[in-house]
Amino acid sequence: MMASDKSSNTNIVEHRNKDMTGSERAFTFVERAFLIVIALMTVAAAGVEIHEVVSNRTIGLADILLMFLYLEVMGMIAVFYQGEDSSPFVYPIFIAMTALARLIVLQGKDMAPENIVFEAGAILLLAIAAAIVFRGARSR
C-alpha cells in the first residue's frame, strides 16, 4: 500500500469517527476489543498447535490446514482494522471454504460419497459468493 493510500484511509477513519454518535463509538470500541481478544486466542491456539507438533515431532496435513485457518483468522482481523469495504465480508467466506476443505480431507475416507459431493458443492457456492461480493465492491 502506498503512503498516500494509507493517509487517505486514516483521513476517512478520522472523518467517520467525528460523525459517530456515542452509541456508535461504544459499539466500535466493543468490536475492537473483541477483535483483540480473538487475535490473542488465535495466537494462543496457534502456539498450542505448534507446541504439539514440536512435541510429537510429526507434521500432518491436519496440522498444516489448521495453521492456515489460524492465519486466515488473523488476516480477517487485520482487514477489519484496515477498514477495507469488501474484504471483511470475503474473509469469513474464505475461512469457511478452508474449513470445509479441511473437513473433506480429514474425514473423506470415512464419509459417504454424496456428503463429499455436497461439501464440494458448498465450497463452490461459497467461491461464487466471494466472487460476487468482491466484484460488487470493486464496481463501486
What pLDDT was estimated at residue 107? 85
pLDDT digits (tens, 9 = 90+) for 8-46: 555 445 555 567 888 889 998 998 899 999 999 999 999
CB atoms inside a 10 Å sphere around CB 91: 20
Q: What is the mean pLDDT of each run of 10 residues along the chain (140 residues)?
A: 51 58 89 93 97 95 89 85 68 88 84 91 95 80
Question: Residue 45 in contact with residue 70, Cβ under 8 Å?
Answer: yes
Alpha carbons 20 and 35: distance in angstroms, whole number: 20
Q: Which three cell numbers stand for residue 2?
A: 502506498
